[in-house]
């Protein structure tokens, strides 16, 4: 998650980038600077699940009352001092991030195997040091927060991009999470959830401006640094030899930094003293060993550009358009050319509380924008149905349905299952017949033949699945005697829309 090695580097080599702050004091300052606007904190909920879920008996999960009480206390602590919270959850895995998703799932499998080995060896559950999130916790958390009256949103692309974009466009007080990508985005301040003391509302702010000062870089250089170090778009191994060359020629290594820390310093030094000399004159591929990874590298740099932002490092116009999930970024060699603003896909706040908006950022209503519907073939062709499904997805009211109806793809992360216990089938198989019938409601069951009808790609983690490719699953018709159950695509749409909850 985030930029490789940056978390440890900030903690050890750049402690001055970490500043102790108090949310109550920050909120009062924000209100004085922006009268009439509620101070808003954007919460990366996926980063906060471990902070919220604290029961000692965690293996079996199920401590719903305790967990709900913890969420209520969290919300109350902020709302009591007049801070509005907006929660973002991961909603989709972008195609370009599928390989990263698979690597993490396979790594999680190893962690789960160690948990079951410990249980069998010791006859008790392991301590918090082996903690693994209970199955379904993220989904349950969404509905718990909605019950508490909180604005809860589900992303249509990389969640950290939507969090950073929301924070910038709404001039938010800050972002609360635990992801070094928030140090790279040029957005509102970034606060650490792991350092949060709920009783006092004290935490640590990680300052990207101070990071730039320490590295002798500008904010616009950070996306380039992140891609050279490795992130979720550009694999760390692609530029290993380049980083070694930077380190070999670097003469100002710090004694208080480990090797990885000095690598970061060396790469930053190369950017500031070598690459910047030719900025605007040479293309990146003329200064860096991009090779066949040129398009991927440009995509990585552009992935940090929020709506209205440009990069001084992107000059060449690749063949066609660089597509980033649901966004489109144009890049040109013309110095007067201004890239199109990336489309932020979060919904506008529906609450009456006024929220400040960035004066230089153009606001658009994502509910009226359907770029993916116009530019890609979807499983369901009715745009009105897709609009309803999209809205319910964004508002965290219907999970996974929109992905099935658009890309025909669905994923399920790790669950606490013993891969060595062959007597118990995986939940991926137990609930598949149910999912197949839901698919038939969404897509229709097709002709019923082996090669007819739609196919859904299932990326489900289970024992023996290396996740090299998805399972191809066909819908099964709903067999209810005396009843003809139509697919959603054939049902006339009313003002009330529809709701299908995926189990």
**pLDDT tens-place string over residues 315-353:** 644 444 344 443 434 333 333 333 333 333 343 444 444
Query: What is the rounded CA–CA span in Å between residue 416 and residue 418?
Result: 7
Q: Which two tokens stand for residue 236?
A: 């760390």
Q: Residue 309 to residues 42, 340, 343: CA-CA distances in angstroms?
A: 20, 9, 11
Taking a C-beta distance cutoff of 8 angstroms, is the pair 180, 2 a contact? yes
The whole-angstrom separation of Cα 48 and Cα 44 is 7
Mean pLDDT of 424-436: 95
Question: What is the predicted pLDDT for the residue at 374?
Answer: 42
Where b means 16+ CB within 10 Å and e means fewer, 101-128 reads: bbeebeebbeebeebbebeeeeeeebee
Question: What pLDDT, on a 0 to 100 scale, did the predictor assign at position 373?
Answer: 39
**Mean pLDDT throughout 448-477?**
88
Which is more confident, 258 or 125?
125
In a domain, 71, yes or no: yes
Q: Give the phi and the psi of residue 203 in degrees, each rounded to 5.
A: -155, -170
Q: How many domains does one find in the chain?
A: 3
Q: Are residues 250 and 195 in the same domain?
A: no
User: How confident is the model over 472-488, as a mean pLDDT?
Assistant: 80
**So what's the pLDDT on residue 428?**
96
Q: What's the whole-number mean pLDDT along residues 163-187?
A: 97
pLDDT at 40: 98
Q: What local confidence, expressed as pLDDT, does residue 491 receive? A: 56
Sheet arrangement for strand 190-192: 18-22, 202-206, 190-192, 174-177, 40-44, 84-89, 151-154
- The residue among 233, 297, 238, 229 whose CA lies nearest residue 261 is 229
Percent over 90 (pLDDT), the chain: 68
Closest by CA to 71, choosing from 144, 151, 137, 176, is 144
Cα separation of 95 and 51, whole Å? 29
Q: Give the up-direction half-sphere exposure of residue 49: CA atoms within 13 A in the CB hemisphere.
A: 19
Give the CA angle between residues 266, 272, 273 to the nearest 5°.
85
41: confidence class by pLDDT, cuts 50, 70, 90? very high
- How many helices (H) does the chain have, and how many strands (E)? 19, 12
Q: Does residue 105 sit in the same domain as residue 149?
A: yes
Could you tell me the CATH number of the domain that includes residue 107? 3.40.50.1010
Instruction: Kindly state whether residue 37 falls inside one of the protein's structural domains.
Output: yes
Q: What is the DSSP letter of 398?
A: S
Residue ending a domain, among 186, 210, 234, is 210
* Same domain, residue pair 175 and 205: yes
For residue 233, tell me if it sits in a domain.
Answer: yes
Helix, strand, or coil here: 53? coil
Answer yes or no: is pLDDT of 266 > 70.
Answer: yes
Residues 442 and 309 in one domain: no
Lowest mean pLDDT among 65-74, 197-206, 233-242, 441-450: 441-450
pLDDT at 60 > cutoff 90: no
pLDDT of 58 over the 80 cut: yes
Verify that 206 and 281 share a domain, yes or no: no
What's the rounded mean pLDDT across residues 85-93?
96
Question: What's the average model confidence in pLDDT over 412-437?
Answer: 94
Regarding whether 95 and 186 lie in a shared domain, the answer is: yes
**Nearest Cα residue to 367 out of 341, 394, 342, 385:** 394
Contact 407, 444 (CB under 8 A): no
Do 204 and 227 belong together in one domain? Answer: no
Q: What is the mean pLDDT of the chain?
A: 85
pLDDT of residue 255: 57
- Looking at the fold, whether 92 and 144 belong to one and the same domain comes out as yes
Of 62-76, 152-166, 248-262, 477-491, the poorest mean pLDDT is in 477-491
Residue 49 has pLDDT above 80, yes or no: yes
Do 88 and 219 belong to one domain?
Answer: no
Percent of the chain whose predicted confidence (pLDDT) is above 70: 81
Whether residues 294 and 179 fall in one domain: no
Report pLDDT for 503. Answer: 39
pLDDT of 100 > 60? The answer is yes
Query: Per the domain annotation, does 495 fall within a domain?
Result: no
User: Quick check: is 496 in a domain?
Assistant: no
Nearest partner of 309 among 125, 465, 161, 91, judged by Cα: 161
Per the CB < 8 A criterion, the answer to whether 479 and 433 are in contact is no
| Pair 75, 145: CB distance under 8 Å | yes
Same domain, 115 and 193: yes
- Determine, yes or no, domain membership for 499: no
> What pLDDT is stored for residue 430 in this prediction?
96
Find the angle CA(206)-CA(1)-CA(419) to the nearest 5 degrees: 140
pLDDT value of position 489: 59
Q: Is residue 114 located within the same domain as residue 177?
A: yes
**287-296, 345-354, 455-464: lowest mean pLDDT where?**
345-354
**Predicted structure pTM score:** 0.85
Confidence band of 163 (pLDDT split at 50, 70, 90): very high
Look at residue 95 in the predicted model and tell me its pLDDT. 86
**First CA to last CA distance, the chain:** 27
Q: Which domain holds residue 377?
A: 371-490
């Amino acid at each position: 998650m985030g930029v490789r090695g940056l978390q440890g580097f900030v903690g050890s080599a750049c402690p001055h980038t970490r500043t102790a702050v108090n949310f109550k004091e920050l909120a009062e300052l924000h209100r004085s600077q922006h009268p009439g606007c509620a101070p808003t904190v954007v919460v990366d909920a996926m980063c906060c699940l471990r902070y919220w879920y604290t029961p000692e008996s965690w293996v079996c999960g199920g401590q719903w009352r305790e967990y709900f009480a913890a969420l209520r206390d969290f919300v109350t602590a902020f709302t009591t001092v007049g801070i509005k919270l907006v929660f973002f959850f991961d909603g989709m895995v972008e195609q370009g991030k599928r390989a990263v998703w698979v690597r993490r799932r396979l790594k999680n499998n190893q962690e789960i195997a160690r948990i079951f080995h410990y249980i069998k060896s010791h006859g008790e559950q392991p301590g918090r040091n082996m903690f693994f999130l209970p199955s379904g916790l993220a989904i349950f958390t969404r509905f718990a927060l909605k019950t508490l009256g909180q604005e809860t949103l589900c992303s249509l692309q990389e969640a950290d991009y939507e969090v950073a974009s929301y924070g910038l466009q709404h001039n938010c007080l800050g972002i609360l999470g635990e992801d070094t990508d928030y140090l790279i985005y040029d957005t509102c301040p970034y606060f650490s959830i792991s350092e949060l003391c709920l009783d006092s509302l004290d935490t640590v702010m990680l300052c990207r401006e101070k990071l730039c000062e320490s590295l002798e870089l500008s904010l616009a250089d950070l996306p380039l640094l992140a891609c050279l170090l490795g992130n979720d778009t550009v694999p760390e191994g692609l530029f290993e030899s380049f980083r070694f060359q930077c380190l070999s020629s670097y003469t100002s290594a710090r004694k208080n930094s480990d090797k990885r820390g000095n690598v970061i310093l060396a790469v930053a030094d190369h950017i500031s003293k070598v690459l910047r000399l030719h900025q605007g004159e040479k293309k990146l591929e003329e200064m860096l060993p991009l090779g066949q990874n040129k398009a991927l590298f440009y995509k990585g740099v552009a992935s940090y550009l929020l709506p209205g932002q440009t990069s001084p490092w992107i000059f060449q116009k690749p063949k066609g358009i660089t597509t980033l999930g649901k966004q489109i970024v144009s890049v040109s060699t013309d110095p007067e050319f201004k890239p199109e603003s990336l489309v932020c896909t979060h919904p506008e706040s529906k609450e009456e509380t006024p929220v400040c908006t960035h004066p230089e950022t153009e606001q658009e209503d994502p509910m009226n924008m359907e770029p993916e519907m116009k530019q890609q073939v979807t499983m369901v062709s009715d745009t009105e149905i897709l609009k309803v499904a999209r809205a319910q997805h964004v508002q965290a009211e219907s999970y996974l349905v929109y992905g099935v109806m658009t890309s025909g793809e669905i994923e399920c992360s790790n669950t606490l299952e013993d891969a060595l216990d062959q007597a118990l089938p995986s939940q991926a198989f137990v609930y598949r017949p149910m999912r197949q019938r839901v698919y038939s409601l969404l897509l229709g069951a097709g002709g019923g033949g082996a090669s007819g009808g739609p196919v859904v790609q299932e990326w489900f983690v289970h024992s023996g699945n290396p996740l090299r490719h998805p399972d191809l699953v066909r819908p099964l018709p709903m067999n209810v005697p005396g009843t003809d159950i139509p697919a959603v695509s054939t049902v006339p749409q009313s003002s009330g829309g529809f709701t299908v909850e995926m189990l």
